[in-house]
Structure 1
Amino acid sequence: MSDTYMEKFVEGSDNPAPGDENTGANTIRDRAIDVLKEIYDPEIPVNIYELGLIYGVDTDEDTGKIDITMTLTSPMCPVADSMPGEIEEKLRAMDGVNDVTVDLVWEPAWDMSLLSDAAKLEMGML
Protein backbone atom coordinates (compact mmCIF):
# COMPACT_ATOMS: atom_id res chain seq x y z
CA MET A 1 0.00 0.00 0.00
CA SER A 2 1.42 3.37 -0.92
CA ASP A 3 2.25 6.06 1.61
CA THR A 4 -0.11 8.42 -0.15
CA TYR A 5 -3.32 6.47 0.46
CA MET A 6 -4.73 9.11 2.80
CA GLU A 7 -3.76 11.94 0.45
CA LYS A 8 -5.74 10.21 -2.29
CA PHE A 9 -8.67 9.80 0.09
CA VAL A 10 -8.64 13.42 1.24
CA GLU A 11 -7.96 15.02 -2.14
CA GLY A 12 -10.43 12.79 -3.91
CA SER A 13 -9.32 10.16 -6.33
CA ASP A 14 -10.94 7.28 -8.06
CA ASN A 15 -12.21 6.28 -4.62
CA PRO A 16 -15.55 7.96 -3.93
CA ALA A 17 -15.86 9.71 -0.61
CA PRO A 18 -17.87 7.94 2.05
CA GLY A 19 -21.53 8.57 1.37
CA ASP A 20 -21.28 8.51 -2.41
CA GLU A 21 -23.85 6.09 -3.74
CA ASN A 22 -22.63 3.28 -5.96
CA THR A 23 -25.31 2.22 -8.37
CA GLY A 24 -24.88 -0.67 -10.73
CA ALA A 25 -22.27 -2.45 -8.60
CA ASN A 26 -20.66 -3.99 -11.68
CA THR A 27 -17.00 -3.77 -10.73
CA ILE A 28 -15.28 -5.65 -7.96
CA ARG A 29 -14.62 -2.29 -6.31
CA ASP A 30 -18.29 -1.26 -6.39
CA ARG A 31 -19.37 -4.62 -5.03
CA ALA A 32 -16.68 -4.47 -2.32
CA ILE A 33 -17.98 -1.09 -1.19
CA ASP A 34 -21.50 -2.51 -1.07
CA VAL A 35 -20.21 -5.31 1.19
CA LEU A 36 -18.39 -2.81 3.43
CA LYS A 37 -21.63 -0.86 3.79
CA GLU A 38 -23.21 -3.99 5.29
CA ILE A 39 -20.65 -4.22 8.12
CA TYR A 40 -21.53 -2.14 11.16
CA ASP A 41 -19.45 -0.79 13.99
CA PRO A 42 -20.55 -2.61 17.16
CA GLU A 43 -20.70 0.57 19.25
CA ILE A 44 -21.98 3.13 16.74
CA PRO A 45 -25.06 2.25 14.65
CA VAL A 46 -23.40 3.17 11.35
CA ASN A 47 -21.67 1.01 8.74
CA ILE A 48 -17.89 1.16 8.62
CA TYR A 49 -17.82 2.80 5.19
CA GLU A 50 -20.09 5.72 6.10
CA LEU A 51 -18.32 5.97 9.46
CA GLY A 52 -15.13 6.85 7.58
CA LEU A 53 -13.15 3.86 8.80
CA ILE A 54 -12.24 2.82 5.26
CA TYR A 55 -9.30 4.87 3.98
CA GLY A 56 -8.79 2.98 0.75
CA VAL A 57 -10.36 0.35 -1.49
CA ASP A 58 -7.89 -0.70 -4.17
CA THR A 59 -8.85 -3.44 -6.58
CA ASP A 60 -7.43 -5.26 -9.55
CA GLU A 61 -10.26 -6.46 -11.78
CA ASP A 62 -7.93 -8.77 -13.73
CA THR A 63 -6.55 -10.69 -10.75
CA GLY A 64 -9.53 -10.33 -8.42
CA LYS A 65 -7.41 -8.75 -5.69
CA ILE A 66 -8.83 -6.32 -3.13
CA ASP A 67 -6.65 -4.24 -0.79
CA ILE A 68 -8.45 -2.45 2.03
CA THR A 69 -6.78 0.22 4.13
CA MET A 70 -8.78 1.02 7.22
CA THR A 71 -8.72 2.17 10.80
CA LEU A 72 -10.96 1.81 13.81
CA THR A 73 -12.40 4.48 16.07
CA SER A 74 -9.77 3.70 18.69
CA PRO A 75 -6.82 1.33 19.16
CA MET A 76 -8.73 0.05 22.21
CA CYS A 77 -11.75 -0.84 20.05
CA PRO A 78 -13.14 -4.19 21.21
CA VAL A 79 -13.24 -5.51 17.61
CA ALA A 80 -9.65 -4.58 16.74
CA ASP A 81 -8.72 -8.26 16.57
CA SER A 82 -11.84 -9.51 14.78
CA MET A 83 -12.99 -6.75 12.41
CA PRO A 84 -10.22 -7.15 9.77
CA GLY A 85 -10.88 -10.90 9.60
CA GLU A 86 -14.63 -10.36 9.26
CA ILE A 87 -14.07 -7.92 6.40
CA GLU A 88 -11.65 -10.27 4.67
CA GLU A 89 -14.05 -13.21 4.97
CA LYS A 90 -17.00 -11.27 3.53
CA LEU A 91 -14.98 -9.84 0.64
CA ARG A 92 -13.47 -13.25 -0.22
CA ALA A 93 -17.01 -14.61 -0.59
CA MET A 94 -17.64 -12.28 -3.54
CA ASP A 95 -17.65 -13.73 -7.06
CA GLY A 96 -14.42 -12.98 -8.91
CA VAL A 97 -12.37 -12.25 -5.78
CA ASN A 98 -9.20 -14.32 -5.38
CA ASP A 99 -7.20 -12.39 -2.79
CA VAL A 100 -8.02 -9.90 -0.03
CA THR A 101 -5.68 -7.90 2.17
CA VAL A 102 -6.98 -5.76 5.04
CA ASP A 103 -4.38 -3.33 6.36
CA LEU A 104 -5.34 -1.85 9.74
CA VAL A 105 -3.61 1.50 10.32
CA TRP A 106 -3.70 3.99 13.18
CA GLU A 107 -2.31 7.03 11.37
CA PRO A 108 -4.02 9.23 10.58
CA ALA A 109 -6.25 8.67 13.56
CA TRP A 110 -9.98 8.47 12.96
CA ASP A 111 -12.08 11.40 14.09
CA MET A 112 -15.64 12.64 13.62
CA SER A 113 -14.68 14.73 10.59
CA LEU A 114 -14.48 11.48 8.59
CA LEU A 115 -18.20 10.76 9.02
CA SER A 116 -20.21 10.94 5.81
CA ASP A 117 -23.35 13.07 5.71
CA ALA A 118 -25.36 9.84 5.74
CA ALA A 119 -23.61 8.80 8.97
CA LYS A 120 -24.18 12.22 10.54
CA LEU A 121 -27.86 12.01 9.61
CA GLU A 122 -28.12 8.49 11.06
CA MET A 123 -26.53 9.72 14.29
CA GLY A 124 -28.79 12.78 14.52
CA MET A 125 -25.94 15.21 13.87
CA LEU A 126 -27.56 16.88 10.84
Structure 2
Amino acid sequence: MDQNDPKADIIEALKQVYDPEIPVNIHDLGLIYDIDVDDGGKARILMTLTAPACPVAGILPGQVEQAAKAVEGISDAEVELVWDPPWSQERMSEEARLQLGLM
Protein backbone atom coordinates (compact mmCIF):
# COMPACT_ATOMS: atom_id res chain seq x y z
CA MET A 1 0.00 0.00 0.00
CA ASP A 2 1.16 3.49 -0.84
CA GLN A 3 1.73 5.68 2.23
CA ASN A 4 1.24 8.80 0.13
CA ASP A 5 -2.09 7.86 -1.40
CA PRO A 6 -4.78 6.94 1.13
CA LYS A 7 -7.38 6.88 -1.65
CA ALA A 8 -5.47 4.12 -3.47
CA ASP A 9 -5.17 2.22 -0.18
CA ILE A 10 -8.92 2.47 0.37
CA ILE A 11 -9.56 1.21 -3.17
CA GLU A 12 -7.37 -1.82 -2.45
CA ALA A 13 -9.30 -2.44 0.79
CA LEU A 14 -12.64 -2.14 -1.03
CA LYS A 15 -11.51 -4.74 -3.55
CA GLN A 16 -11.85 -7.21 -0.65
CA VAL A 17 -15.57 -6.41 -0.22
CA TYR A 18 -17.98 -8.43 -2.34
CA ASP A 19 -21.66 -8.20 -3.09
CA PRO A 20 -22.79 -11.62 -1.81
CA GLU A 21 -24.97 -12.15 -4.88
CA ILE A 22 -22.26 -11.37 -7.46
CA PRO A 23 -18.75 -12.92 -7.35
CA VAL A 24 -17.03 -9.59 -8.12
CA ASN A 25 -15.69 -7.02 -5.67
CA ILE A 26 -17.69 -3.82 -5.25
CA HIS A 27 -14.98 -1.60 -6.73
CA ASP A 28 -14.78 -3.57 -9.98
CA LEU A 29 -18.58 -3.72 -10.06
CA GLY A 30 -18.54 0.07 -10.29
CA LEU A 31 -20.47 0.61 -7.06
CA ILE A 32 -17.96 3.15 -5.70
CA TYR A 33 -18.59 6.56 -7.24
CA ASP A 34 -16.16 8.73 -5.27
CA ILE A 35 -13.62 8.58 -2.45
CA ASP A 36 -12.36 11.71 -0.74
CA VAL A 37 -9.91 11.80 2.17
CA ASP A 38 -9.41 15.02 4.11
CA ASP A 39 -6.19 16.15 5.81
CA GLY A 40 -7.33 14.58 9.09
CA GLY A 41 -7.66 11.14 7.52
CA LYS A 42 -11.46 11.10 7.36
CA ALA A 43 -12.74 9.29 4.29
CA ARG A 44 -16.02 10.13 2.59
CA ILE A 45 -17.21 7.49 0.16
CA LEU A 46 -20.09 7.82 -2.28
CA MET A 47 -21.43 4.48 -3.39
CA THR A 48 -24.49 2.97 -4.99
CA LEU A 49 -26.01 -0.47 -5.25
CA THR A 50 -27.04 -2.42 -8.31
CA ALA A 51 -30.69 -1.61 -7.50
CA PRO A 52 -32.49 0.40 -4.78
CA ALA A 53 -34.21 -2.77 -3.53
CA CYS A 54 -30.89 -4.66 -3.35
CA PRO A 55 -31.07 -7.17 -0.48
CA VAL A 56 -27.64 -6.12 0.85
CA ALA A 57 -28.60 -2.44 1.16
CA GLY A 58 -28.58 -2.77 4.93
CA ILE A 59 -25.14 -4.36 5.28
CA LEU A 60 -22.92 -3.41 2.34
CA PRO A 61 -22.40 0.27 3.29
CA GLY A 62 -21.28 -0.83 6.77
CA GLN A 63 -18.83 -3.29 5.25
CA VAL A 64 -17.44 -0.50 3.05
CA GLU A 65 -17.10 1.79 6.07
CA GLN A 66 -15.29 -0.89 8.10
CA ALA A 67 -12.92 -1.70 5.20
CA ALA A 68 -12.03 1.99 4.81
CA LYS A 69 -11.52 2.48 8.57
CA ALA A 70 -9.11 -0.47 8.60
CA VAL A 71 -6.75 1.34 6.22
CA GLU A 72 -3.67 2.76 7.92
CA GLY A 73 -3.92 6.54 8.22
CA ILE A 74 -7.73 6.63 7.99
CA SER A 75 -9.18 8.05 11.19
CA ASP A 76 -12.85 7.73 10.26
CA ALA A 77 -15.05 6.88 7.30
CA GLU A 78 -18.49 7.92 6.20
CA VAL A 79 -20.39 6.11 3.46
CA GLU A 80 -23.24 7.77 1.62
CA LEU A 81 -25.56 5.79 -0.65
CA VAL A 82 -26.49 7.66 -3.81
CA TRP A 83 -28.79 6.69 -6.66
CA ASP A 84 -27.83 9.30 -9.23
CA PRO A 85 -26.44 8.40 -11.64
CA PRO A 86 -28.08 4.99 -11.51
CA TRP A 87 -25.72 2.02 -11.61
CA SER A 88 -25.41 0.20 -14.93
CA GLN A 89 -23.19 -2.57 -16.27
CA GLU A 90 -21.15 0.05 -18.12
CA ARG A 91 -19.70 1.10 -14.74
CA MET A 92 -18.10 -2.33 -14.30
CA SER A 93 -14.41 -2.82 -14.99
CA GLU A 94 -13.47 -4.83 -18.06
CA GLU A 95 -12.14 -7.53 -15.72
CA ALA A 96 -15.52 -7.75 -13.94
CA ARG A 97 -17.42 -7.98 -17.24
CA LEU A 98 -15.09 -10.76 -18.40
CA GLN A 99 -15.47 -12.60 -15.08
CA LEU A 100 -19.27 -12.48 -15.38
CA GLY A 101 -19.26 -13.48 -19.05
CA LEU A 102 -20.62 -10.16 -20.27
CA MET A 103 -17.97 -9.64 -22.96
Same fold (TM over 0.5): yes
Q: TM-score, normalised by structure 1?
A: 0.76
* Residues 53, 73 of structure 1: 8 Å contact kept: yes
In the other structure, the counterpart of 1:39 is: 17
8 Å CA contact 2:41, 2:76 repeated in 1: yes
**Alignment coverage as a number of residue pairs:** 102
Match status 1:51 vs 2:33: no
Identity of aligned residues (%): 47
CA distance in 1, matches of 2:84, 2:44: 17
Whether 1:30 aligns to 2:8 is yes
| Long gaps (5+) in structure 1 | 1-23
State the alpha-carbon separation in 1 of the partners of residues 89 and 67 from structure 2.
26
- RMSD across aligned C-alpha pairs, in angstroms? 1.2
Distance in 2 between the 1:57 and 1:94 partners?
13
The one-letter code matched in structure 1 to 2:98 is: L
CA distance, structure 2, for counterparts of residue 93 and residue 46 of structure 1: 21
- Residue identity matched to 1:93: A
> Could you list the runs of 5+ residues in structure 2 that have no partner in the other structure?
none
Alpha-carbon deviation of 1:51? 0.4
* Letter in structure 2 aligned against 1:40: Y
Alignment correspondent of 1:96: 73
